[in-house]
Amino acid sequence: MAIPIAVLDCDLLLYGRGHRTLDRFKLEDVTDEYLVSTYGFPRQFIYYLVDLLGASLSRPTQRSRAISPETQILAALGFYTSGSFQTRMGDAIGISQASMSRCVANVTEALVERAAQFIHFPEDEATVQSLKDDFYGLAGMPGVLGVVDCTHVAIKAPNAEDLSYVNRKGLHSLNCLMVCDARGVLLSAETHWPGSLPDCTVLQQAALTSQFETELHKDGWLLGDSSFFLRTWLMTPLHIPETPAEYRYNMAHSATHNVIERTFRTIRSRFRCLDGSKGTLQYSPEKSSHIILACCVLHNISLEHGLDVWSSPATGHMEQPEEEYEQMESMDSEACRIRQELLLTHFS
């Protein structure tokens, strides 16, 4: 006689011995339309994730009945794309809400372990040049290696360090620093910064800054908005443009930088757990940071698979707290010289 799902222990469900898995849901039994509407992705994409993450999600123990990697991935995708542990979601794949939560944790950690594989700057010269060419094709801005910005994701109030996560709007959040290419592929994602930190402070303390100042890309730069300081490797708009060349530079800068705003909208629209419409992420800052990063990995994988249609803004998402832009012009004379040379060479 089958054991009722409600009485099965969560750990017993998730981990099992050998290949004895609990499979109450089969991908081949449903349509692609159903998979996309319920889990956000088509069948072949889900099969790819099973191949990618299967080894991490099949951990042998002394218990006997485990949830298959396929079912764990469906549970996690259901949460990422809907933003809730709805009972009907667990019912559809034959697991409890508690097991849904553990599946999300397992899949999230498996994706985070692979973040460096899918989120990174290109290294070979041909790919770097292609990156610059793609950006130049948008609005004529040369030498661009990526566009950078921050976005806030709402989280529940943590038990410790409460005030450090309160942003300028009085809400608890993580301030996430990201860089993308001209297609919206993420090249860098730091998702752990407390919401109280302004964007310029996040960048100052970020691994991204160390990467660019000590290792990479002496022949190009990132584009950032006025919430950041001008640097030799980070071109910002002119605070008060006066000449035609300065206006042209600012217009090209804005049109190019807009790519990351569209990328943020796409991520929030695809992964509704991040957009605020279902409430805040009900996890610690560390776990919330991992969920955000896991969604970033899935975003890049989806672009690799051609799922790259730009989405409209998601409803109910947290707006970016406004930064103080005064006094953000550079104090770096070399950075000012580089921007002025860019103005004279390409926009005069």
**Domain extents for the chain?**
32-58+67-117, 120-284+327-347
Given a contact cutoff of 8 angstroms between Cβ atoms, the answer to whether 329 and 234 are in contact is: no
- How far is the first Cα of the chain from the last one, in angstroms, to the nearest whole number? 80
Which residues have CB under 8 Å from 78's CB, separation 6+?
Answer: 38, 39, 40, 86, 89, 92, 93, 100
Count of alpha carbons within 13 angstroms of residue 52, beta-carbon side: 21
Angle subtended by helix axes 43-57 and 97-113, to nearest 10: 90
Amino acid at 310: W
What is the DSSP code (8-state) at residue 177?
E
User: What pLDDT score was predicted for residue 254?
Assistant: 97
User: What pLDDT score was predicted for residue 17?
Assistant: 38
Residues 179, 321, 211: CA angle, nearest 5 degrees: 25
Short-list 268, 299, 292, CA closest to 181: 299
Given a contact cutoff of 8 angstroms between Cβ atoms, the answer to whether 286 and 182 are in contact is: no
User: What pLDDT score was predicted for residue 332?
Assistant: 82
User: What pLDDT score was predicted for residue 59?
Assistant: 66
Alpha helices in 241-304 (DSSP H): 244-270, 285-304
User: What pLDDT score was predicted for residue 310?
Assistant: 52
User: What pLDDT score was predicted for residue 309?
Assistant: 55
Distance CA 220, CA 45 (A): 34
Given a contact cutoff of 8 angstroms between Cβ atoms, the answer to whether 271 and 81 are in contact is: yes
Q: Which two tokens stand for residue 49?
A: 């994730």
Q: Which two tokens stand for residue 225?
A: 């908005």
User: What pLDDT score was predicted for residue 85?
Assistant: 60
Given a contact cutoff of 8 angstroms between Cβ atoms, the answer to whether 307 and 208 are in contact is: no
Which residues have CB under 8 Å from 180's CB, separation 6+?
Answer: 146, 147, 186, 187, 259, 260, 263
Measure the CA dihedral 273/277/282/283, to 10°. Answer: 40
Short-list 214, 213, 251, CA closest to 343: 251
Query: What is the chain's pLDDT, residue by residue, as a tens digit (348 residues)?
Result: 443 333 334 444 444 433 334 455 677 778 888 888 888 899 999 999 999 999 999 865 434 457 889 999 999 999 999 877 655 566 667 777 788 889 999 999 999 999 999 999 998 999 999 999 999 999 999 999 999 999 999 999 887 667 899 999 999 999 999 999 999 999 999 999 999 999 999 999 999 999 998 865 568 999 999 999 999 999 999 999 999 999 999 999 999 999 999 999 999 999 999 987 767 898 999 999 999 999 999 999 999 999 865 544 444 444 555 544 444 555 689 999 999 999 999 998
Q: Which two tokens stand for residue 39?
A: 């889990």
Amino acid at 299: H
User: What pLDDT score was predicted for residue 89?
Assistant: 62
